[in-house]
Structure 1
Amino acid sequence: MPTLELKTNVQLKDPKAFIEEFSKLAADLLGKPISYIATSYTYNEHLAWGGTFEPAFILNIVSLDNITPESTEVYSKKLFEFFQEKLGTAGNRGYITYVDPGRPFIGHNFTTFGAIFGKK
């Protein structure tokens, strides 16, 4: 069920190709089937970082059962490298927020993951 919502001031020539690649990376990185991955890309020309409009991003990740201090170090390294390559963003021009809200707090298929997999 991971969701990855990317906002950036970098306009992509082919957002669909980027999202396909980003989705595959997310599935591999988070250890979830790609069929569970939801990604989005939002171009925001008004996203400023430090008062400038140089390439920057904000990424919010919501995922169940795999957000730990150790894992977020690994995720951050890989994601910052990916965005540096694909968006041209420097490492100090992005934030990634990681959230594991708990199974009862994610709805899916007319119920919650807490009901489907048990409350953890």
Structure 2
Amino acid sequence: MPFLTIQTNTTATDREALVSALSALGVKLLSKPEKYMVVNINENATLAFGGSQEPAAIVEVKSIGGLTKENNKEISAQIQPLLEKHLKVPAYRYYIFFSHFDAEDVGYAGATFATL
């Protein structure tokens, strides 16, 4: 159940390429099946970072397992060039929040991942 969401005050130069790259990144680094990978990009949000409305973003990565200190560093390193390329958000204008969930805390198909 990996979930990657980006809120940004910019517009993607190539939305489909960005979504595909983020999905592939999540699948690879979190070792999850792509059928569960969710990518959500909210563009043109009202967002200020450090008192400025220059290009900025908030990134959230959520998963059942797969989020470790080492993986978080790698995910952060690999998201950075994607945000710069597709959203024109520099490395110092966003935060990434990592959240781990237990399988019983995520519902899916009328059940939870703990019961699948």
TM-score scaled by length of structure 2: 0.89
Partner of 2:27: 27
Higher relative contact order (CA 8 A, sep 6+): 2
Alignment of 1:1-120 (within 5 A): 1-116=1-116
For residues 12-69 of structure 1, give each alpha carbon's deviation from its aligned partner in whole angstroms, at most 9, with x where no partner exists. 2543343233222222232222211011110134211111121111011110111111
Aligned residues, how many? Answer: 116
**Percentage of matched positions with identical amino acids:** 29
Structure 1 moving runs of 4+ over 3 Å: none
- Any gaps of 5 or more consecutive residues in structure 2? none
- Any gaps of 5 or more consecutive residues in structure 1? none
Instruction: Give the aligned residue type for 1:66.
Output: G
Distance 1:2 1:34 in 2: 9
Please state how far the C-alpha of 1:103 moved relative to its aligned partner: 0.7
Coordinate RMSD, CA, aligned: 1.6
Please state how far the C-alpha of 1:88 moved relative to its aligned partner: 1.7
Instruction: Give the aligned residue type for 1:42.
Output: N
